[in-house]
Structure 1
């Protein structure tokens, strides 16, 4: 019997995400299917793989089981499977790793293949460690090489071009070994946050390097072209530079390469050098990742305990589902199809971990939560491997099983080289109305901008349920919580409930790492997790977390210090004196409809120096915030003046229609023309850039340099809906509309 999934079964945010990103549309953009239709489409397509195997299960019966699994929001596959299964494109994988060897032919072949993958909606990971360093000899031309970072910029430009072409945003991961001669330049590559904007960066650390850090020793930098050492570096100096940049803006992350290869199930096929863009899926060249996640909160029974038998049933069915996806997938390159089918890696993970702990009345930062994490993930991986062994009996083991670590250890054949991964679940956790991956809850309450109202206060459903039960619920309190950022300092909330509802910024960085390590101990691949730091965290605290991650057996670490990136808001407190760029306030009271202009408005005029001459920018505002913008272009006329007037009109219309001023700054700042003006921090790259800087100056002036009382989150405003954005698993995710910078 089918589950009668209706729109009422889904949260408003889930419906928003599904309608914007997942449901099938016609050529005119009209939605052609309901969420129920989508789950039915995916279930039937994936069950259809049974026809590929002699003695496969009855497809109609299995399709119904798959449908109930997804429609009951107990398990969801990665986004491309939901979007494309049963449709013409048929590309069902989220992420890929491509090889980049030390030749012009290999580099530009990888760029072409990257374009094809991004066109199909996937993300890509690369190791640039094989490329010879900058200023090395190029024998074929008698010249010198430009080094890996110069080629990374070519990949970045190609990604930007494809993104501008209107397809889903492509994301990249770049990894460079810590013993590459260009490692210091790589670490500093995103010091200018306007470069490599389509890349996440991670340094590939080795065991030898970490020992040198611990002992205060030097280590060798090796030219990949010759395999010979070229110089020595102080390991602590390099480590400190990684820490410094991570403290400054969250990048680069770190990956422990030797640990990835310790758990590489097929070393006879190749060495693992790279991961997918969020770092949780180590892959060989030309492999793709095929992920899905179990919604843990759906495992709590009527008696308030975790149903372990239900968990095992879901895991077993999900493993068959993911193996079937490999079978029906239409891969963007033949090499990817060949390598993926040879190893048949799947990555079954979880979401709703924080919600589960709340249901079980276990604080996230407690010893009991760590014990449960250990038992839970051990059960999932053990059950997944049992299911994979059963599939190997039915369908045969993965082709590279011969020579694999499993065969070397005398283990029974498996259908899949890996079975489990903890991924950042991003948009699928919004669909499931669950917390993301194994992260703490995003927020107890936050403010969401909507089209028909000024603001809508979103409250965590479990908190609202408990607040009503305990009798302390009120709309006013929920709004205060949204403005406050949490409940830890609110006496109106009972202490026992405060202990349960800790957010990512309430727990210590050490607690983040210990939770990551607890899951990593029983995960085949890796664990995606962001370690959150308050804005006033020190560099030594970041360094200590890196050392703890190494000691606890993690495979990589991503950190984010609150408010450390340009044009991103702080959750509490004033901007630090040495911040790279001032934080900007979120305007309160804006509605989605156009505001009527009153007869008189107050404002200020700013003189900006541009390559076309002096530009005067006048900004007026009303009681709800910025209202309109006018420009006057000195003595210049023609195109410069007319284009500035056009910018002013469009910015004014956007503000009157409810668009955040922060979003207009983001669209205009950094635009370049052939007549820049000024130098250093005062450099203005175009008239549009000058307008953005004037808006920025005005907002800071109006907030007296202390905009913290207006902040609602730590990740900035969503570029699509203006809602709150949070850093999760190495990505920025909007929980209001489903936007993700990695998808």
Structure 2
């Protein structure tokens, strides 16, 4: 059976949109099967460097990808045997405390993001704002001002035509500008291309526990500049995370306790989703095993984990990722040097929730947590065995003398739990180690809406005779099944979604995997809209106590569309929809403008919702006029707005159109009815930030009238308008495959 036969419709759509080769006319020129063969052949070629035959590995690499048992990170699928040949997902760059150092990092960021990689930075080396600058006699502007330069640079770069840049910005909790950093994204128009996290120390957490003050240190001279109450700072971190999901936290001392190469230097940052702590200039190559495929039926007809198949997949994937290091075209010489010196790889998992369902184990249970530890321990042990076997043939990683490893090892690290937004869609499985985000989805195809149901749930629904299209539609609209009486309790217990699960179980699951992972774990703790600030505080504290390396939370509806619609927050602020128009909102707010055209008075009504302008109506005065024409234009403009056509393009098409009636009359404000509409739209967006400030001004009334909507409010995909899922420290659209993290 070929790979194409195993792909569901969404997987095909994502591959065609983002991964498959295209010619200069944009026409697809390879099949999914050919893509897997292309990648397998390219990565196996690394064997030739060591005088090893690539043919067996090529077949094995092809097999695990074709069967969707394992997939590498997106850049490898996209770029292997393509012109870029840049195969890494994530990089960390240093930011030195000098103008040359800062702008060298900006330049290097552009090179990396152009090639398809995400970037992480620690801005803690930069002197605080108002500090002395000896060379000019002036004062420093501080880390946040320079972060805005990186943010602006990212905003102009579209990675290889396929991925938009993503950044992680980190500041140590003992930096003098820490309070400004914590609130840096309070205004949602700020730093939209950054995730931000606080590098929290053990000393700080101890000070929080004891309600003490802690010291702030100027990185320029390591002098103490003052103190802050630790509880006050922690309270502000929690408050902001509750408000809009950021900042996250990384536990920097816990990360460095597990630094595999302490002789090379301290780890100071991570990649954009936090799962990969890296030294300056390091990159990592990631891939994930589809655990939902690692099962078999035993002699008594029970589904169990197939550890033999899992071992084969782990060993093959470890060889694959090690080969990626040799086949990679690194954007900077410094990156090539340290990556080849440490040879870190990050083998992770996806389909964890699907595996639990197959095994009949509830996600929110000690049984699931214990199994997580057992499965990940097996994966790490097996990958270590394979890494040592490779080292016997090819040699250990060059920096092993500076590492914690006492035996030969090919790779300084072998395991990472990364977000798997796009590749889990291709594999047709649940994302990473997350619970299901939904059991039934609405999928938009042109003007039609189709319902896509989790295949095991659909099978059980039919077996237990409670299946109906109406029920599946209801589930798609409400996500959870826990309050639906017709569904048996045993099935409800298995099919829990991210919001059905108490936050502590999210953290317990993360901690269980972290115990057996070399690098870190990317996971989102999902909260209901009504979760309290204290709930967030409990999760952050629990993550520290359970030895997690970081924690990310998202409270449903706490972040508006602006943050995730990166790159569409200007004239193009309505996200471009490739799959038809979004539905008309239930409630809109707007303005009415009276203007004069050649036929008389024209009233132009422009309405907005929380995404911006969404519709336009016109009416004519008593003098008559081209009512049919103005109504037709209004309908087409409304359709274009909700279909994602950028506003500035609509305006450009309408402005300047002339009609005879306007040309022969005096005191006419506009050249024609279309010109009047174009001018009105232009005035509206210039005066109202595309209508969004109208929504903000009237938001209390909006929320009061639509209280049920506010609790499930979520951001929309900037490409297709469907609902976005927050998981794995990232955001992903199951409808079209868009991911904030690429």
Map residues 528-677 of structure 1 onto 2, 5 A cutoff: 528-567=522-561, 592=580, 606-607=591-592, 617-619=604-606, 628-630=615-617, 653=636, 655-656=638-639, 659=642
Match of 1:158 in 2: 153
Counterpart among 14, 19, 26 of residue 17 in structure 1: 14
Contact 1:629 1:649 in 2 (8 A): no
**Alpha carbons of structure 1 residues 568 and 710: separation in structure 2 relative to 1, 3 Å:** farther
Counterpart among 46, 51, 76 of residue 49 in structure 1: 46
Once the 2 structures are TM-superposed, how far is the Cα of residue 268 of structure 1 from its aligned partner?
0.9
Q: Deviations over 1:58-96 (max 9, x none)?
A: 212221111011000000000000001111110000110
Once the 2 structures are TM-superposed, how far is the Cα of residue 233 of structure 1 from its aligned partner?
0.7
Q: Deviations over 1:387-426 (max 9, x none)?
A: 10111101000000013111xxxx2110000000000101
Once the 2 structures are TM-superposed, how far is the Cα of residue 627 of structure 1 from its aligned partner?
8.2
> Equivalents in 1 of 2:179, 2:170: separation in Å?
13
> Equivalents in 2 of 1:652, 1:115: separation in Å?
42
> Equivalents in 1 of 2:87, 2:557: separation in Å?
35
Contact 1:715 1:732 in 2 (8 A): no
Contact 2:615 2:641 in 1 (8 A): no
> Equivalents in 2 of 1:29, 1:36: separation in Å?
19
Tell me the SS of whatever aligns to 2:199: strand
Tell me the SS of whatever aligns to 1:402: helix
Match of 2:721 in 1: 722
Contact 1:445 1:479 in 2 (8 A): yes
Counterpart among 92, 96, 106 of residue 101 in structure 2: 106
Contact 1:14 1:433 in 2 (8 A): yes
Contact 2:581 2:642 in 1 (8 A): no
> Equivalents in 1 of 2:77, 2:638: separation in Å?
36
Once the 2 structures are TM-superposed, how far is the Cα of residue 724 of structure 1 from its aligned partner?
1.6
Tell me the SS of whatever aligns to 2:442: strand
> Equivalents in 1 of 2:197, 2:304: separation in Å?
40
Tell me the SS of whatever aligns to 2:360: coil
Once the 2 structures are TM-superposed, how far is the Cα of residue 656 of structure 1 from its aligned partner?
2.4
Say yes or no: does 1:516 pair with 2:499.
Answer: no
Unaligned stretches of 5+ residues in structure 2: 564-573, 595-601, 620-629, 651-682
Match of 2:85 in 1: 90
Once the 2 structures are TM-superposed, how far is the Cα of residue 156 of structure 1 from its aligned partner?
0.4
Counterpart among 5, 14, 34 of residue 3 in structure 2: 5
Aligned length: 673
**Alpha carbons of structure 1 residues 232 and 698: separation in structure 2 relative to 1, 3 Å:** closer
**Alpha carbons of structure 1 residues 299 and 189: separation in structure 2 relative to 1, 3 Å:** same
Tell me the SS of whatever aligns to 1:290: strand
Say yes or no: does 1:480 pair with 2:474.
Answer: yes
Say yes or no: does 1:59 pair with 2:54.
Answer: yes
> Equivalents in 1 of 2:593, 2:205: separation in Å?
50
Contact 2:557 2:710 in 1 (8 A): no
Tell me the SS of whatever aligns to 1:618: strand
Match of 2:404 in 1: 405
**Alpha carbons of structure 1 residues 209 and 489: separation in structure 2 relative to 1, 3 Å:** same
Tell me the SS of whatever aligns to 1:174: strand
Counterpart among 443, 448, 458 of residue 438 in structure 2: 443
Once the 2 structures are TM-superposed, how far is the Cα of residue 705 of structure 1 from its aligned partner?
2.5
**Alpha carbons of structure 1 residues 667 and 428: separation in structure 2 relative to 1, 3 Å:** farther
> Equivalents in 1 of 2:71, 2:103: separation in Å?
36
Q: Deviations over 1:217-262 (max 9, x none)?
A: 1110000000111101100000000000000000000000001111
Once the 2 structures are TM-superposed, how far is the Cα of residue 664 of structure 1 from its aligned partner?
7.4
**Alpha carbons of structure 1 residues 720 and 655: separation in structure 2 relative to 1, 3 Å:** farther
Once the 2 structures are TM-superposed, how far is the Cα of residue 5 of structure 1 from its aligned partner?
2.4
Match of 1:599 in 2: none
Map residues 272-311 of structure 1 onto 2, 5 A cutoff: 272-303=267-298, 304-311=303-310
Match of 1:40 in 2: 37
**Alpha carbons of structure 1 residues 242 and 59: separation in structure 2 relative to 1, 3 Å:** same
Tell me the SS of whatever aligns to 1:414: coil
> Equivalents in 1 of 2:486, 2:588: separation in Å?
40
**Alpha carbons of structure 1 residues 667 and 741: separation in structure 2 relative to 1, 3 Å:** farther
> Equivalents in 2 of 1:82, 1:383: separation in Å?
24
**Alpha carbons of structure 1 residues 342 and 658: separation in structure 2 relative to 1, 3 Å:** same
> Equivalents in 2 of 1:206, 1:704: separation in Å?
42
Counterpart among 265, 268, 276 of residue 263 in structure 2: 268
Match of 1:141 in 2: 136
**Alpha carbons of structure 1 residues 697 and 415: separation in structure 2 relative to 1, 3 Å:** same
> Equivalents in 2 of 1:523, 1:164: separation in Å?
30
Counterpart among 23, 42, 46 of residue 26 in structure 1: 23
Contact 1:483 1:710 in 2 (8 A): no
Once the 2 structures are TM-superposed, how far is the Cα of residue 653 of structure 1 from its aligned partner?
3.5
Match of 1:579 in 2: none
> Equivalents in 2 of 1:45, 1:591: separation in Å?
34
> Equivalents in 2 of 1:705, 1:515: separation in Å?
38
**Alpha carbons of structure 1 residues 620 and 289: separation in structure 2 relative to 1, 3 Å:** closer
**Alpha carbons of structure 1 residues 536 and 318: separation in structure 2 relative to 1, 3 Å:** same
Match of 1:572 in 2: none
Map residues 102-251 of structure 1 onto 2, 5 A cutoff: 102-163=97-158, 168-251=163-246
> Equivalents in 1 of 2:363, 2:190: separation in Å?
37
Q: Deviations over 1:342-378 (max 9, x none)?
A: 0000000000000000000000001110110010011
What TM-score, normalized to structure 1?
A: 0.85
Contact 1:665 1:693 in 2 (8 A): no
**Alpha carbons of structure 1 residues 649 and 206: separation in structure 2 relative to 1, 3 Å:** farther
Once the 2 structures are TM-superposed, how far is the Cα of residue 42 of structure 1 from its aligned partner?
0.2
Tell me the SS of whatever aligns to 2:377: helix
> Equivalents in 2 of 1:449, 1:16: separation in Å?
12
Match of 2:331 in 1: 332
Tell me the SS of whatever aligns to 2:197: strand
Contact 1:592 1:658 in 2 (8 A): no
Unaligned stretches of 5+ residues in structure 1: 570-585, 596-601, 610-614, 633-646, 669-682
Once the 2 structures are TM-superposed, how far is the Cα of residue 710 of structure 1 from its aligned partner?
9.9
Match of 1:313 in 2: 312
Contact 2:172 2:198 in 1 (8 A): yes
**Alpha carbons of structure 1 residues 739 and 111: separation in structure 2 relative to 1, 3 Å:** same
Match of 2:363 in 1: 364
Tell me the SS of whatever aligns to 1:140: coil
Once the 2 structures are TM-superposed, how far is the Cα of residue 215 of structure 1 from its aligned partner?
0.6
